[in-house]
């Protein structure tokens, strides 16, 4: 049922993987984390005593706070090797006392609900052969037909699906769903069969309507105060999504209307802006990007923490990239932390290579964010220069700058754009771009020998080559 890189390893190999995850303290990545989580569940189903003997000696104490997924792994292992409490019902307290504190972390609520459910079933001795929500690939997506196969095995074994595990599995299904998977779901006899069939028939989670929102006020004068923010951000919100009722209460935050300017106690949300967040909803990277865009932006206009894994995961996700994803890349390209800029460059190229880059959209966002004082042109220029040097990078950069340049050149202090024009000339030449930008042509005709004018002439010549 579970194939490829997520296949269940031997008990000895699992022990080594668990030890490596717990000892590393850092993010283990989507594939190692999901594989270990499912393998612990599977081996607990096969032989609980052998699993406890193998994992019981693996240290689960930390002197320094580890990554959220490492803490989750430790909790699952602890539940698997601890004493069975058959008198406890794993369903009784599901979601009890849960309180929605922040819509920004809606996807973390979902991941937390699944982890809590898995741990509760292990503690209660109510084992399952495998998790329904194990991804079929590195993005976190679950192939619909594989989900139906897993449910058929649950049916054969008389195992009841966990609501959070099934809910996570359904959210990981999407895209073009094979009609054969729907027909196979119709043949399921378990109570959840009708719900799964209807979900697959509608194509997974509906896509909400979006809106783009600029923060109120004007850009302020630069300040040396730590943490001061002088620009104004562009954020993205979405309307409510139908269908929350069949999911556990911890999932409901996802279905609410998301207002981008909503305040919360989270400033940079470092534990939630990672690939795991995107893998929770791989067919809807826009939802993940929109809800965490404030944290991504903080690395560009404040002293915020970076989120390189998050940026790359957004670009590699299975769903379409819209305004929120492109804004995340825009902020990343001019972020202060170098790892974020590197990740944004890779994300830009990945989007282009997969035909998901909207160069005009990203160009417009960069132009407006620079005008709002949110992005720094030298950092942006350096990122785009580095992107031109990689395969397919030149075409991606030119697709963006062809839209961005006219607006940027119209901004004040045009002298800072000489280096950017040099990047544009290189990208146009390497990508074979042709045509004319009137703003560049007008600039190239001015008398003088400054870098700005010289690079404008280079770009004009590159676009005019026959």
Mean pLDDT (whole number) for 390-399: 94
pTM: 0.93
CA separation for the pair 139, 281 (Å, rounded) = 9
Asked whether the predicted pLDDT for residue 341 surpasses 90, the reply is yes
Q: What distances in angstroms separate CA 386 from CA 25, 295, 301, 380, 402, one per listed residue?
A: 31, 24, 21, 10, 17
Angle between helices 393-409 and 338-353 (to 10 degrees): 110
Cα 34 to Cα 158, 239, 256, distances in angstroms = 24, 31, 27
Query: Is residue 268 pLDDT above 50, yes or no?
Result: no
- Say which range, 58-62, 131-135, 365-369, has the weakest mean pLDDT: 58-62
Give the whole-angstrom CA distance, residue 363 versus residue 330: 9
User: Could you give the CA distance from residue 185 to residue 149 in angstroms, rounded to a whole number?
Assistant: 9
Question: Is residue 103's pLDDT more than 90?
Answer: no
Mean pLDDT, to the nearest integer, of 86-95?
A: 66
What is the per-residue pLDDT for 62? 84
Mean pLDDT of 189-195: 96
Average pLDDT score, the chain: 90
Provide the pLDDT for residue 325: 98
Query: What pLDDT score was predicted for residue 222?
Result: 52
């Amino acid at each position: 049922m579970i194939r490829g890189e997520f296949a269940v390893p031997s008990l000895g190999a699992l022990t080594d993987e668990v030890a490596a995850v717990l000892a590393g303290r850092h993010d283990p990545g989507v594939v190692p984390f999901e594989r270990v989580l499912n393998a612990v569940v599977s081996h607990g189903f096969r032989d609980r005593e052998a699993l406890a003997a193998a994992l019981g000696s693996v240290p689960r104490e930390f002197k320094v706070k580890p990554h959220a997924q490492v803490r989750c792994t430790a909790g699952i292992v602890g539940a698997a090797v601890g004493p069975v409490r058959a008198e406890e019902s794993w369903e009784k307290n599901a979601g009890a006392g849960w309180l929605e504190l922040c819509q920004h972390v809606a996807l973390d609520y979902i991941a937390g609900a699944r982890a809590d459910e898995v741990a509760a079933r292990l503690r209660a001795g109510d084992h399952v052969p495998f998790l329904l929500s194990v991804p079929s690939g590195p993005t976190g997506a679950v192939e619909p037909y594989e989900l139906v196969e897993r449910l058929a095995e649950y049916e054969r074994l008389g195992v009841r699906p966990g609501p959070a595990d099934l809910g996570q599995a359904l959210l990981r299904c999407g895209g073009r769903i094979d009609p054969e998977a729907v027909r196979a779901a119709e043949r399921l006899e378990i109570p959840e069969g009708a719900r799964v069939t209807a979900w697959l028939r509608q194509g997974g989670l509906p896509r909400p309507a979006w809106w783009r929102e600029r923060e109120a006020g004007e850009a302020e004068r630069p300040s040396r105060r730590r943490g001061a923010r002088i620009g104004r951000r562009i954020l993205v919100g979405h309307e409510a999504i139908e269908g929350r009722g069949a999911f556990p209460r911890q999932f409901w935050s996802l279905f609410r209307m998301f207002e981008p300017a909503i305040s919360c106690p989270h400033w940079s949300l470092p534990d939630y802006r990672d690939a795991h967040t995107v893998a929770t909803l791989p067919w809807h990277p826009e939802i993940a990007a929109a809800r965490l865009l404030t944290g991504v932006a903080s690395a560009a206009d404040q002293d915020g923490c970076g989120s390189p894994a998050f940026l790359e995961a957004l670009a590699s996700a299975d769903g379409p990239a819209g305004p929120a994803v492109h804004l995340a890349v825009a902020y990343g390209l001019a972020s202060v932390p170098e790892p974020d800029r590197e990740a944004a460059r890779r994300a830009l190229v990945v989007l282009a290579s997969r035909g998901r880059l909207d160069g005009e959209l990203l160009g417009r966002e960069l132009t407006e964010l620079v005008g709002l004082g949110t992005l720094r042109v030298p950092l942006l220029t350096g990122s785009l220069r580095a992107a031109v040097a990689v395969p397919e990078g030149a075409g991606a950069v030119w697709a963006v700058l062809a839209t961005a340049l006219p607006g940027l050149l119209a901004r004040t202090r045009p002298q800072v754009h000489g280096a950017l024009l040099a990047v544009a000339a290189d990208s146009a030449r390497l990508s074979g771009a042709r045509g004319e930008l009137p703003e560049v042509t007008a600039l190239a005709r001015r008398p003088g020998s400054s870098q700005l004018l010289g690079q404008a002439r280079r770009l004009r010549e590159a676009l005019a080559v026959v």
